[in-house]
A = this chain, B = another copy of it.
Amino acid sequence: MRDVAVIGIGMTKFGELWEKSYRDLFVEAAKAAMLDSGADNLDSMYVGCMSGGLFVGQEHIGSLMADYLGVAPIPATRVESACASGGASLRAAFIEVASGISDIVLAGGVEKMTDVDGGMATYALATAADAEYEGFHGATFPGLYAMIANAHMHKYGTTPEMLAHVAVKNHDNGSLNPYAQFPAKISVDAVLNSVMVADPLHILDCSPVTDGAAAVVLAPLEIAAKLNAKPIRILSTGMATDSIALHDREEITHLNAVSVATTRALEMAGLTIGDIDFAEVHDCFTIAELCVLEAMGVYQPGKAGPAAMRGETARDGSLPVNPSGGLKSKGHPVGATGIAQAYEIVKQLRGEAENGRQLKDVKRAIAQNMGGSGGSSVVTVFEA
């Protein structure tokens, strides 16, 4: 296998982008990544998207985007793993470059979620759960994560204040990100007094419904060094699955797919979690960030909440988490999220993060992207 590096990155602003179409969003991000890369053309591309069918009435998404990007007849494949579709796109592109079959490969992700009404968006998102055992019975994602949160509170004494600290920290970071959907700073009181969506999750514990796209261009390391002044290596990829329905898991507070994917990625990179300088993780709900950090081995089970209260995951903490603002503040266009994580990591490792959110002396980072309530996870390790 060949060594692989990121040579270009691009993304759209995240938000309710009613003036831009599905294809416009992808093309904007992909063009930006291609321009940034120094490469004249692509050999192949992947598009992460969760549900073009339900959100915009469009499948055949790889071909559509290659066509509108003007790069047909290159191979173009859409990959899907619910909200981890972006991570799966990055993984597929990494494997294709590593294999030697292609050199310059774009990994993109896109979702256009606000062109349908809220009920349809909730239904579309619920197809990431087990349709027959969860979706058809009315389970939605706030409800599923609320069950995880209640179990975590019961088992470990996690409190609504601890959850709120995750949201406050991520909005603090997102307030410095020009691409964030909700860059406003918020307070713990604001979270605790915001409307309850699914007890104990208030609306400010939840990531939003978002339109947006992101893209990165990968190349073999030897070519990357010629095209880009500061290529960022991808050391490894790990992916894992779990039972898609919550009720089939031994312990719903433990995200086993995250744990296995992290172990695989760190082993492939020859590193331990202690070698990592910062992380972008899948905070679709505040409780998710805590469970993810525990599954990744950053904290023992039950210890991530108190750590959030102590500020250990803030930009000046021992392991900064979600310097981009995370899904919570930056927004969560589900198919794009895994690529937007890579975008932030490359910015930080290049030393180019805007508005004072640049982390100091960072060399290695990890991205963790998750599908559904933890039915899948993709973990990627980067090095400057």
The residues of A with any CB-CB pair to B shorter than 8 Å are 1, 21, 23, 44, 50-54, 56-64, 66-67, 72-82, 88, 91-92, 95-96, 98-101, 123-124, 127-132, 135-136, 237, 239-245, 248, 256-257, 260, 371-372, 375-376
Contact partners of A88 in chain B: CB under 8 A: 62, 77
By a CB distance below 8 angstroms, the chain B residues around A127 are: 52-53, 57-60
A290 to chain B, nearest CB (A): 21
Q: How far is the CB of A1 from the nearest CB of chain B, in Å?
A: 5
With A1-B99, A96-B95, A375-B63 already in contact, the answer to whether A80 and B81 are too (CB < 8 A) is no
By beta carbon, the residue of chain B nearest A52 is B127
Contact check: which of B44, B123, B371 meets A60 at CB < 8 Å? Answer: B371
For this chain, the copies found in one complex come to: 2
Query: Given contacts A1-B100, A99-B98, are A82 and B57 in contact (CB under 8 A)?
Result: no
11 CB < 8 A contacts A-B: A1-B100, A51-B53, A52-B127, A53-B54, A59-B80, A60-B81, A62-B80, A62-B241, A64-B244, A78-B81, A99-B100
With A62-B81, A244-B60, A376-B60 given, is the CB distance from A75 to B239 under 8 Å?
yes
A53 vs B126: C-alpha distance when bound (angstroms) = 10
Provide the residues of chain B in CB contact with A98, threshold 8 Å. Answer: 99, 101
- How many angstroms from the CA of A96 to the CA of B96 in the assembled complex? 8
Are A375 and B67 within 8 A (Cβ)?
A: yes
Within the complex, the shortest CB–CB distance from A107 to chain B, in Å, comes to 13
Specify which chain B residues have a CB less than 8 angstroms from the CB of A96 in the assembled complex: 95, 99
Residues of B within 8 A of A245 (CB): 67
Residues of B within 8 A of A129 (CB): 60
Residue of B whose beta carbon sits closest to that of A136? B57
Chain B residues, CB < 8 A from A21: 132
Task: Pick the residue among B1, B44, B256 that contacts A73 (CB under 8 A).
Answer: B256
Using A67-B244, A92-B92 as known contacts, say yes or no to A61 and B80 having CB atoms under 8 A apart.
yes
A76 contacts across to B, CB distance below 8 A: 81, 239, 241, 376
| Contact between B241 and A75, CB atoms less than 8 A apart | yes
Q: A73-B241, A241-B75 are in contact. Are A60 and B372 (CB under 8 A)?
A: yes
Top 7 nearest A-B pairs (CB, nearest first) are A99-B99, A75-B239, A60-B82, A53-B53, A63-B375, A73-B240, A58-B131
